[in-house]
Amino acid sequence: PTNFVEKILAGEKVTTIRVDAKGRWKVGNKVHFATGVRTKNHNQFAEGVCTKVDKIEIQHSRIWIANKWVYSHHVFINDSRLNEDEVKELAKCDGFDSVDAFFDWFNTDFEGKIIHFKVKKPCSEELHNVQVEADGRCHICEGTELIVN
């Protein structure tokens, strides 16, 4: 299991990688974190805001060397190729425990977007029952609450 829900709520997963053929994702867009989307088990467990959008391309290749297949993976963000450490950081930010787990999930060539986000936390004032704004302030009491991540 990916444990993405727990990682999002803990501020460990701060990006999501998606196909975005229609250019839907923009800075400032609301993000609705949910499981079971388009099913009777739909559960929105948090709300957030998109803080940045990057283009991503993942390429897989294999070549025959010394009587065996050698596999390689290349990741490009905004047309710049990532080095090994940057791929490791990308995998961590996207909630994966390892680079291998990242490439197990993204196991075919892929083009899309990296959506960076911040998760809103509820205002600690029980009567307000609202999410704090992206700037970290409750619009009722103007009190500040830390936004996860």
**Tens of pLDDT, residue by residue, the chain (149 residues):** 689 999 998 889 999 999 999 999 999 999 999 999 899 999 988 888 999 999 999 999 999 999 999 999 999 999 999 999 999 999 999 999 999 999 999 999 999 999 999 987 655 555 445 554 545 555 555 444 434 44
Exposed, middle or buried: residue 113 (CB in 10 Å: 0-12, 13-18, 19+)?
A: buried
- Spatial distance between the Cα atoms of 84 and 17, rounded to a whole number of angstroms: 18
- Spatial distance between the Cα atoms of 133 and 122, rounded to a whole number of angstroms: 10
Question: pLDDT digit string (tens) for 92-135?
Answer: 999 999 999 999 999 999 999 999 999 876 555 554 455 545 45
Strands (E), the chain: 15-18, 30-35, 43-65, 68-77, 80-81, 110-119
Dig out the tokens for 33 from the structure: 């974190």
